[in-house]
Amino acid sequence: MSAVATVEPHPIGLSIRNGSKIYPGTQALKNVDFDLRMGAVNVLVGENGAGKSTLMKIIAGVEQLNGGSIELDGKSVVFTDKTDAAKHGVGIVFQELNLFPNLTVAENIFVGHEKTRAGIHIDRAAQTSAARALMKRLEQNIDPDTPLGNLRIGQQQIVEIAKALAENARILILDEPTSALSAAEVEVLFRVINDLKKQGVGIVYISHRLEELIRIGDYITVLRDGVITGSRSMKGVDIPWIVANMIGSASKEFPKTVEHELGDEVFRVENICLPSPAGGYAVDHMSLTVREGEIVGLYGLMGAGRSELLECIMAQHPNSSGQMFISGKPLKEQSVSGRIRRGLALIPEDRKRDGLVQIMTIRENLTMSSLYDFTRGFHLSLKAEAAKAAEFVKRMAIKIASMEHPVSSLSGGNQQKVVIGKALMTKPKILLMDEPSRGIDIGAKAEIFRTMRRLAGDGLGILFVTSDLEEVLALSDRILVMANGRLTGQFPAGANAADVVSAATPNLKKVETL
């Protein structure tokens, strides 16, 4: 591909000049210049919250710039919404597939812009033949009349791409397209991408899997905190270069490790296994230990089995097997409340879905796991409860107008503090945190991290899961890396970032040889 690039440079299809995007409270993009080249794969990379998604949404018309301009084929354009961008030939495949499993492949491809006669009657035959033509173009052997739910995830992804192409997309944005795919499916996708390139389609490709980017990309753009820190042809780019640009020399204001002695082993899991519905294991013979006062960072990409491991520990998967020990004593309790009583506490990844009861008050959420501490016989002492809740609001520095407001009225960072407060109120020995900084702003993030440090200093063992490289490097006393359900690496604090990334993508070699 690079040989072609030198002979005939890819024309610029879309460019953004001086683009800025401001959300309430944060600036997601700062004076960004971005060129999208046609007939090539334009790779976009950066940490969570670096501004990749925002840039992508602006190109797809989902969001609009606050400052700067977009040019399409040399003419200045403004996309008012996604439909408008689609009319201009921009298609997007989101990370979470927006498909209907109960409809057929053809129906999915044409949903929202059905081929009709007289605007009422759906022309099924025309849709089916058009869908068949698209599948042929993508070299896929998928029958347009099969229900989408019968397809594998990889095939569904292809249908999403076909959906974008059906609207004559000349620019195609793929957001983490491989995160849910098997190695073989990735190969199919890459072949499709190469074909599309030859047809002159300009592709924007977003992924956390760096080795994949190097393989498929022609141009690379690295974002950090809304600023482009590197932009060049892919020739000569290697993982250390990408990581250096992603993280930068000056690390963010993370609390530095305050030296304190680590205590004895407080938590040990041995051979945790969880069969996966797709076959094989979602968690594959995982063993690890946590010491008192130690922060263990568990790094891995999406789908590596990290969250599943924490769920196994928290008794969410009856099919899981393996042993667990708290301070050397076996953990036999099968219920969540039993495990909480033994000193485990979980901060779930999805605050809205798992962490809080949104319609209940801040007080009621804080004390949810500890109600029996305020109960004598049947009687729940509201006074003791309110006092304890107030104590934790103060301790966690939760900004609230009143404890009696619904917890849904708080900002993401403050909601997270409520979840942590609820966990701490049960006086845990081990705190399991799943993506503790997800969806909260940078200030609240730093505060959460300081809290974690302080808790570790008080002797709590913390096992936290993250897909943020910078976070795991800055915060952990020890780094564990997971991939495909297995432990693939173990590093001390201050490990080399590139090593950690390599351990998280163990199929690196396999891909390179292909």
Indicate the SS3 state at residue 416. helix
CB of 384 to another protein, least distance (A): 12
Stretch that binds another protein, among 3-11, 239-247, 330-338, 447-455 (CB under 8 A): 330-338
355 touches another protein by CB under 8 A: yes
User: Can residue 313 be called a binding residue for another protein (CB under 8 A)?
Assistant: no
Asked if 430 contacts 461 with a C-beta cutoff of 8 angstroms, the reply is yes
Identity of the residue, 249 or 334, whose beta carbon is nearer to another protein in the bound complex? 334
Task: State the minimum distance, in angstroms, from the CB of residue 340 to another protein.
Answer: 4
Report d(CA 308, CA 306) in Å as an integer. Answer: 5
Size of the site for another protein (CB under 8 A): 37
Closer Cβ to another protein, 188 or 419, answer by number? 419
Measured from the CB of residue 192, what is the shortest distance to another protein in angstroms? 37
For 366, 418, 425, 478, the CA distances from 410, given in Å and listed in that order, are: 13, 10, 20, 33
**E strand intervals along 129-277:** 171-175, 202-206, 219-224, 227-233, 265-275
**Binding to another protein by residue 359, rule CB under 8 A?**
yes
Taking the complex as a whole, the smallest distance from the CB of residue 252 to another protein amounts, in Å, to 27
Q: Is 405 in the site for another protein (CB under 8 A)?
A: yes
**Joined tokens for residue 333:** 């309790």
Is 360 an interacting residue with respect to another protein (CB under 8 A)?
A: yes
Q: Are 138 and 170 in contact (CB under 8 A)?
A: no
CB of 429 to another protein, least distance (A): 15
**Identity at 341, one-letter amino acid code:** R
Given a contact cutoff of 8 angstroms between Cβ atoms, the answer to whether 469 and 495 are in contact is no
The least CB distance from residue 310 to another protein, in Å, is: 11
| Residue 194 near another protein by CB under 8 A | no
Burial class (CB in 10 A: 0-12, 13-18, 19+), 206: buried
From the list 413, 412, 395, 398, the residue with the least C-alpha distance to 362 is 398
Minimum CB distance to another protein, residue 435 (Å): 15
**Residue 476, both tokens:** 């952990």
Distance, CA of 99 to CA of 86 (rounded, Å) = 17
> Candidates 187-195, 360-368, 387-395, 501-509 — which segment interacts with another protein by CB under 8 A?
360-368
Q: Does the protein bind another protein through residue 348 (CB under 8 A)?
A: yes
Rg over alpha carbons for the chain, rounded to the nearest Å, is: 25
Residues that bind another protein (CB under 8 A): 314, 316, 335-337, 340, 346, 348, 353-361, 364, 368-369, 371-372, 375, 378-380, 382, 400-402, 404-406, 409-410, 422, 426
